[in-house]
Structure 1
Amino acid sequence: MTHATDQAGQVAREAIQAAARGTGAQITGAVPYELSQAGIASAVPTIAEQARSSGSNAVFLTGNTAGDLPVISQLLSETGIGGEDFRYLGLTRWDIPADALQLPGLQGGYFALPDQGAIQQFRTRYSARYGGAPHPIANLAYDGMAAIGAIAARGQTVGRNTLTSRAGFAGTGGVFRLRGDGTIDRALAVAQVVNRSAQVVSPAPNSFGGAGF
């Protein structure tokens, strides 16, 4: 795993480590880098050496397409870390913008994304009602109100216990649930970059109950 030293990178590192516990995954190391081209370039030799010496078969890249991901995926692939021997695994949306899927270093890699069927249904309903595409974060407001509506429909009082129900709620990007510590669980799909396009290889689960939940 490799991550930036900023807050987002540290949160991503902790999330990966927490998710690995209790599964068959083994985190063989974590290499931080300063969030700059020079910082990434300086860390790449260490990342490559650790990946090879630890017998790893995948590398988590926690960066996003608007920042560090294009640089680190390119530099790592140039050192021979990538492809089938070291699969890249991403936490962020590699398909936004769509041009990011053209990056040579990301080919064959895997990343998480929301249920595309649920998102398209939301966009279609929104467009039919308001005559245009929804704002990129409009779904967050909708999901919040949908959770409250679902609780009210069951005749329950909206409160901490009902909002943090383990069963979760149906949202615009698939099922989600609110946790008592202020974080959110989302049931996501896994896509692979194949021929410069995103292909879903593991659909988003429609309930909480599988691995990691």
Structure 2
Amino acid sequence: SVAAIFPTTDYGRIQQGAFQQAVSDLNIGARAVYNFSNETEARSVVQQLAPLLSAGQIDTLFIPDRATAPSFGILLQEAGVPQGKVQIVGSADWNGDQAIASTPYLVGAVYPSVDDAGYLALKAEYQGKFGSAPHALSTISYTATILANASSLALGTPRYDRSQLTLPGGFNGRDGVFRFLPNGRSEYALVMKQVTAGGAAVVDGAKL
């Protein structure tokens, strides 16, 4: 069964809403959902969770908040929950965070991420031309340019037709494959990464 911990912030509420929608769509029972707004409440959450985790009543723990994930790793360790007893799952916000990579208890945790290959290829090209690293979101600008010049869209009749924009196969951008949904949302093919000592490694390739 699954449990989750969310900060009492606007972003935390968005994360919680997405989590609840996902468990509903996947028909997965959420054993417990916790909220916290300060260290005292975070410690209280771990005190409630620790017996359930140690007893194996919860096997997956979702901790999406990047800033507090290392602290929860430390608190779980202090509470005596054996490392590896529960599968910790983070969010895409975890990607590249050195504090998370430096927290021993979080080794083995997994999280989704946009494939870094496109950014790394752009980074080398960009640095060679401009002498500095590109912004992390610069790949979106490149992808927008690629999309705007796609012949199937730019030369179509009508141009940029909705049915073409929402093709299930999507498009290939700098960050990999993505697609627009009829409801106005979008999806990216994401890889799964696993926290290693001091870093992270891809453990599952990009999938939509």
Structure 1 counterpart of 2:87: 87
Structure 2: how far apart are the matches of 1:23 and 1:62?
18
Structure 2 counterpart SS, 1:203: strand
Give unmatched runs, 5+ long, in structure 1: 209-213
Q: Structure 1's 198 and 152: CA in aligned 2 closer, same or farther, altered over 3 A?
A: same
CA distance in 2, matches of 1:87, 1:62: 13
Q: 1:14 to 1:82 in 2, by over 3 A?
A: farther
Contact kept, 8 Å, 1:126 with 1:134, in 2: the verdict is yes
Q: Distance in 2 between matches of 1:129 and 1:179?
A: 36
Task: Report the Cα offset of residue 117 of structure 1.
Answer: 1.9
Kindly indicate whether residue 56 of structure 2 is the aligned counterpart of residue 30 of structure 1. Answer: no
| CA drift at 1:37 | 2.2
Task: Write out aligned runs for 1:1-213 (5 A).
Answer: 1-23=4-26, 25-34=28-37, 36-51=38-53, 55-64=57-66, 67-81=67-81, 83-150=83-150, 151-152=152-153, 155=156, 157-205=159-207, 208=208
The question of whether the paired residues in 2 share the 8 Å contact of 1:82 and 1:105 is answered with no
The two structures have a TM-score, normalised by structure 1, of 0.80
Aligned residues: 203
Which is further off, 84-93 or 160-169?
A: 160-169
Residues 149-198 of structure 1 deviation map (CA, whole Å, 9 limit, x = unaligned): 22535635225444333322212222122334443311111111123321
Aligned partner letter, 2:153: A
Asked if the contact 1:112/1:189 (under 8 Å) is kept, the reply is yes
Give the superposition deviation at 1:201: 0.8
Contact 1:58 1:85 in 2 (8 A): no
Any idea what SS the aligned residue of 1:158 has?
coil
Whole-angstrom distance in 2 between the partners of 1:109 and 1:90: 7
For 2:10 and 2:182, locate their aligned partners in 1 and report how far apart those are by CA, in whole Å.
21
Q: Quick one: percent identity of the two aligned structures?
A: 24
Query: Aligned-residue CA RMSD in angstroms?
Result: 2.6
TM-score (norm 2): 0.81
One-letter identity of the residue aligned with 2:98:
A
Q: Is the 8 A contact 1:31 1:46 kept in 2?
A: no
Task: State the alpha-carbon separation in 2 of the partners of residues 49 and 183 from structure 1.
Answer: 39
Change in 2 beyond 3 A, CA 1:202/1:154: farther
Match of 1:211 in 2: none
**In proportion to residue count, which structure has more strand?**
2
- CA 1:54 to 1:87, structure 2 compared with 1: closer, same or farther past 3 Å? closer
Where 1:47 maps in the other structure, the secondary structure is: helix
Give ranges in structure 2 of 5+ residues lacking alignment: none
Distance 1:27 1:82 in 2: 21
Cα distance in 2 for partners of 1:102, 1:25 equals 31
1:63 touches 1:92 (CA, 8 Å); kept in 2? no
